[in-house]
């Protein structure tokens, strides 16, 4: 067989092969991720944040994108000087135990946040992140946007600890009124009326993640990844088991689901275009790497 014939056969074989892309949406919300943990999450998980401006050496050395956050009223632009794709705004200013800012206070501070975004060259400046209380969050966000009408706000961040797809859809639907893309920067199942064990989290994840991938309004989402003995806040009892990856790089059963859930795009290696496939949206695929 000539070299030209072999090349033609190779091209035909490649034309039948779909290469699964890592999700441009899928992230992880957790502090102190190690290089091994980040490596284990590739290629499906493409971004992370830790509620701080500085990523730490592990995240800085990883190919997973780190998104810095201005957590509250005390911050310094000198805390992080690297370029970033996005900058996240204040963390849950609508509740007392987090940033605890009124809409007016946050609006008055927002020009400083914009200056940092310009310094970092970010493509997306994300609003303050609202807690899962729909009434409180939408009221705060509406007042903030009214007080900050000339501000740069490219997307709106929200958190969810609902345990059903319908709960998340209702939450997201209530933020459509603001006319911006949504970043779901914290989510997991944390309702004591539901099964918050790892098995329960797996059932919830398999229901919700395909919808997040297919919903155009959702630009990014990040799983709140903490094991039972690491759960940082007394959100529910018993403590939920929502960890994705151990420090040695071993994925939990939940982590394997998160990494291997099918994507909604596949790359054609011949022409470089991407296309949607129904089976890729809603099925769990085999691991890409051994």
In the predicted structure, residue 4 carries a pLDDT above the cut 80: no
Check if the beta carbon of residue 140 is closer than 8 Å to that of residue 130.
yes
Examine residue 74 and state whether it is found in any structural domain, yes or no: yes
In the predicted structure, residue 258 carries a pLDDT above the cut 90: yes
Total structural domains in the chain?
A: 1
Examine residue 263 and state whether it is found in any structural domain, yes or no: no
SS3 label, residue 219: strand
Give the CATH number of the domain where residue 242 resides: 3.20.20.80
Examine residue 136 and state whether it is found in any structural domain, yes or no: yes
Separation of alpha carbons 154 and 156, rounded Å: 7
pLDDT tens digits along 17-49? 333 457 899 999 999 999 999 999 999 999 999
Examine residue 152 and state whether it is found in any structural domain, yes or no: yes
Q: Which residue pairs from 272-278 have beta carbons closer than 8 angstroms and sit at least 24 positions apart in sequence? A: 274/21, 277/18
pLDDT recorded at residue 239: 78
| Positive or negative torsion for Cα 62, 64, 65, 66 | negative
pLDDT tens digits along 166-213? 999 999 999 999 999 999 999 999 998 999 999 999 999 999 999 999
- Report, as an integer, the average pLDDT of 251-273: 68
Residues above pLDDT 70, as percent of the chain: 79
Examine residue 141 and state whether it is found in any structural domain, yes or no: yes
Rg (CA), the chain: 20
Domain that holds residue 169: 24-249
Residues 6+ apart with CB under 8 A from 48: 27, 28, 29, 30, 33, 38, 59, 64, 65, 66, 67, 222
Which position has the higher pLDDT, 80 or 186? 186
Strands 65-66 and 26-29, how do they pair?
unpaired
State the chain's maximal CA–CA distance in angstroms.
Answer: 74
User: At what angle are helices 103-120 and 134-147 packed, to 10 degrees?
Assistant: 70
Question: Alpha-carbon dihedral of residues 37, 41, 42, 46, nearest 10 degrees?
Answer: -110
Check if the beta carbon of residue 126 is closer than 8 Å to that of residue 157.
yes
Confidence label for 235 from pLDDT (cuts 50, 70 and 90):
low
Examine residue 265 and state whether it is found in any structural domain, yes or no: no
State the first-to-last Cα distance of the chain, in angstroms, to the nearest integer: 33
Residue from 247, 261, 158 nearest 201 by CA: 261
Strand-by-strand arrangement of the 26-29 sheet: 65-66, 47-49, 26-29, 218-224, 181-187, 155-160, 124-130, 86-88
Examine residue 122 and state whether it is found in any structural domain, yes or no: yes
Examine residue 205 and state whether it is found in any structural domain, yes or no: yes
Residues 6+ apart with CB under 8 A from 281: 210, 213, 214, 262, 263, 264
């Amino acid at each position: 067989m000539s070299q030209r014939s072999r090349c033609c056969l190779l091209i035909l074989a490649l034309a039948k092969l779909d290469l699964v892309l890592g999700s441009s949406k899928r992230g992880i919300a957790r502090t102190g991720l190690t290089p091994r943990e980040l490596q284990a999450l590739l290629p499906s998980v493409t971004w992370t944040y830790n509620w701080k401006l500085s990523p730490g050496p592990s995240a800085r050395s990883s190919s997973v994108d780190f998104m810095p956050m201005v957590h509250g009223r005390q911050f310094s632009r000198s805390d992080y000087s690297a370029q970033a794709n996005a900058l996240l705004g204040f963390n849950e200013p609508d509740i007392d135990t987090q940033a605890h800012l009124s809409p007016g206070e946050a609006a008055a501070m927002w020009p400083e946040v914009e200056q940092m975004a310009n310094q970092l060259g970010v493509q997306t400046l994300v609003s303050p992140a609202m807690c899962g209380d729909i009434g409180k969050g939408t009221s705060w966000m509406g007042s903030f946007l009214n007080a900050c009408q000339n501000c740069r706000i490219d997307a709106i961040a929200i958190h969810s600890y609902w345990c059903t797809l319908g709960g998340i859809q209702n939450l997201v639907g209530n933020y459509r009124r603001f006319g911006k893309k949504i970043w779901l920067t914290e989510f997991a199942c944390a309702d004591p009326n539901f099964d918050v064990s790892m098995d329960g989290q797996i059932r919830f994840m398999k229901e919700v993640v395909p919808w997040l991938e297919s919903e155009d309004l959702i630009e990014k989402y990040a799983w709140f990844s903490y094991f039972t003995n690491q759960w940082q806040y007394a959100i529910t009892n018993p403590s939920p088991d929502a960890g994705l990856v151990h420090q040695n790089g071993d994925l939990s059963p939940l982590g394997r689901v998160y990494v291997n859930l099918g994507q909604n795009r596949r790359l054609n290696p011949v022409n470089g275009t991407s296309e949607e496939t129904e089976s890729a949206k809603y099925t769990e695929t085999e691991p890409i790497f051994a």
